[in-house]
């Protein structure tokens, strides 16, 4: 089954909000063996909505539309849909009763525009929205099924989980999807492509390989399609195994995850603890870790010793080290990592110090100079990196590379590998 996602709203096009709906919907469809062929964001204009609906007909089996179902004048999705489907709006008494109860329960007066939320497309299947006043609607034209949902994320997710996905999963699907993900580090995208060029050339037409690079890692995604679920799953896994064997020294994980989530799971499994001491990253590494549920089982907390004074007070960095080598140096960052590990009694500690920019550099230490140290159970490693002048990118590179170095030392000291 092929699907298309359309999000409606000027607020998305001007960057006022981020379209998280499409990403979430696409994930749910993928998990239910439904392939997304296009994601489209359009404005709140009749022509744009009409053309998007028209262009999607017979191109996809199902089209999921979010946004523009509210009661205000800028929400014109329903009105435009009446023209496209050559129908009209009619007030549904059951929906009206729900909307009425919705306002009564909150002690609010219901206006006429609120009653208009009960106006639905003639001939549609109503998808009741228990979390809001705008119902979803399912209607067909030709071979394509159109599903309209509110743009409010929690309302949309409720409709998808309780009504839309159950409907879609009952439909016949003769094409099955298989996907394998491999996360690698320590190798650039171009070098990676060259290293596996012969394997990539062996891929049949029904299995695609995608490179999804970040600032420090590359995710390889194999996507296979076939008429037999077991066969395509097996074939896709076999090619993934070949890639893993070829890239053994660089493979971090063989499933869809993030490096921080993967590391947290490994730390917990081996009953290890971690602390962080962040200067140039300003606590963003700690924020990345603590965003993962369950991290408290391995992460004891961290410090942000931005000044030299706090480096000394919190981490026992020597005054003479700072005077002789400076805050951005191998010697200082090693003392930061070792001091954090000792002070907070953890198995591992990560320390960062650098000149994120755009100012503060010197001829000896230009903007973008960064030192990272990892204090482990058996040794401490440190590396210098030279980035550019963009502060945001420098901070992001630093925290990603810090996680990569942590993974490297973890593998070395505990022989921790991927879960095959």
Query: For each of the chain's 420 residues, which pLDDT tens digit applies?
Result: 899 999 999 989 998 988 999 999 999 998 888 989 999 999 999 999 999 999 999 899 999 999 988 777 778 899 999 999 999 999 999 999 988 998 888 888 888 888 998 999 999 999 999 898 899 999 999 999 999 999 999 999 999 999 999 999 887 667 788 999 999 998 889 999 999 999 999 999 999 999 999 888 999 999 998 988 899 999 999 999 999 999 988 999 999 899 999 999 999 999 999 999 999 999 999 999 999 999 999 999 999 999 999 999 999 999 999 999 999 999 999 999 999 999 999 999 999 999 999 999 899 999 999 999 999 999 999 999 999 889 999 999 999 999 999 999 999 999 876 654
Cβ neighbours of residue 10 under 8 Å, at least 6 residues apart?
43, 44
Q: Give the integer Cα–Cα distance in Å for 239 and 245.
A: 10
Q: How far apart are CA 257 and CA 55, in angstroms?
A: 35
Q: Where are the alpha helices (DSSP H) in 35-123?
A: 46-56, 77-84, 93-105, 112-115
Residue 89 burial class via C-beta count within 10 angstroms: exposed 0-12, middle 13-18, buried 19 and up: middle
Strand 217-226 with 274-278, pairing: unpaired
The predicted-structure confidence for 28-71, as pLDDT tens digits, reads as follows 998 888 989 999 999 999 999 999 999 999 899 999 999 988 77
CATH node for 2-170: 3.40.980.10
Per-residue DSSP letters for 277-319?
Answer: EESTTTTHHHHHHHTSTTGGGTEEEEE---SHHHHHHHH---H
- What residue ranges of the chain are covered by domains with CATH 3.90.950.20? 259-414
Distance of alpha carbon 375 from the chain centroid: 29
Alpha carbons 109 and 57: distance in angstroms, whole number? 40
Segments of the chain assigned to CATH 3.30.70.2860: 176-253
- Strands ordered across the beta sheet of 35-42: 35-42, 2-8, 62-66, 144-149, 136-141, 125-127
Q: Name the DSSP letter for residue 128.
A: -
Task: Give the residue carrying structure tokens 């198995």.
Answer: 347
- Helix ranges (DSSP H) in 133-258: 153-159, 165-170, 189-195, 197-201, 229-246
Of 265, 25, 258, 8, give the one whose Cα is nearest residue 151.
Answer: 8
Instruction: Give dist(CA 179, CA 29) in Å, integer.
Output: 13
Predicted model pTM:
0.73
The architecture (CATH level 2) of 259-414 comes to Alpha-Beta Complex (3.90)
* CATH 3.40.980.10 in the chain, residue ranges: 2-170
User: Which class is 176-253 in CATH?
Assistant: alpha beta
Evaluate the CA torsion angle 285, 287, 293, 294 in order and state its sign. Answer: positive
């Amino acid at each position: 089954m092929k699907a298309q996602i359309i999000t409606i709203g000027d607020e998305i096009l001007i960057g006022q909000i981020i379209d998280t709906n499409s990403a979430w919907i696409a994930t749910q469809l993928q998990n239910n063996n439904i392939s997304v062929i296009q994601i489209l964001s359009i404005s709140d204009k009749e022509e744009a909505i009409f053309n998007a609906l028209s262009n999607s007909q017979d191109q996809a089996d199902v089209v999921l539309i979010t946004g523009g179902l509210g009661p205000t004048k800028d929400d014109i999705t329903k009105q435009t849909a009446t023209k496209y489907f050559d129908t009209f709006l009619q007030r549904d008494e059951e929906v009206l009763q729900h909307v009425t109860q919705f306002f009564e329960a909150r002690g609010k007066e219901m206006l006429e525009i609120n009653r208009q939320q009960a106006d639905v497309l003639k001939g549609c299947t109503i998808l009741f929205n228990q979390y809001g006043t705008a119902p979803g609607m399912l209607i067909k034209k030709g071979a394509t099924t159109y599903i309209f949902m509110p743009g409010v994320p929690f309302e949309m997710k409720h409709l998808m989980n309780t009504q839309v996905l159950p409907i879609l999963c009952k439909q016949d699907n003769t094409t099955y999807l298989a996907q394998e993900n491999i996360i690698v580090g320590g190798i650039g995208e171009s070098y990676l492509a060259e290293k596996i060029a012969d394997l990539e050339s062996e891929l049949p037409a029904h299995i695609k390989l995608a490179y999804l690079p970040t600032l420090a890692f590359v995710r390889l995604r194999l996507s296979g399609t076939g008429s037999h679920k077991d066969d395509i799953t097996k074939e896709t896994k076999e090619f993934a195994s070949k890639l893993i064997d070829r890239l053994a020294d660089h493979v971090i994980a063989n499933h869809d995850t993030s490096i921080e989530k993967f590391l947290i799971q490994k730390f917990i499994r081996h009953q290890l603890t971690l602390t962080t001491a962040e200067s140039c990253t300003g606590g963003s590494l700690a924020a990345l870790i603590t965003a993962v549920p369950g991290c408290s089982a391995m992460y004891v907390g961290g410090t942000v010793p931005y000044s030299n004074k706090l480096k000394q007070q919190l981490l026992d960095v020597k005054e003479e080290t700072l005077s002789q080598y400076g805050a951005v140096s191998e010697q200082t960052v090693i003392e930061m990592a070792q001091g954090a590990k000792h002070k907070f009694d953890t198995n591992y500690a990560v320390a960062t110090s650098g000149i994120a920019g755009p100012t503060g550099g010197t001829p000896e230490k230009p903007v973008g100079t960064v030192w990272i140290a990892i204090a482990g159970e058996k040794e401490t490693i440190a590396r210098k990196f030279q980035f550019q002048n963009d502060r945001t990118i420098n901070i992001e590179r630093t925290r990603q590379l810090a996680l990569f170095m942590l993974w490297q030392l973890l593998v070395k000291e505990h022989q921790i590998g991927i879960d095959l």
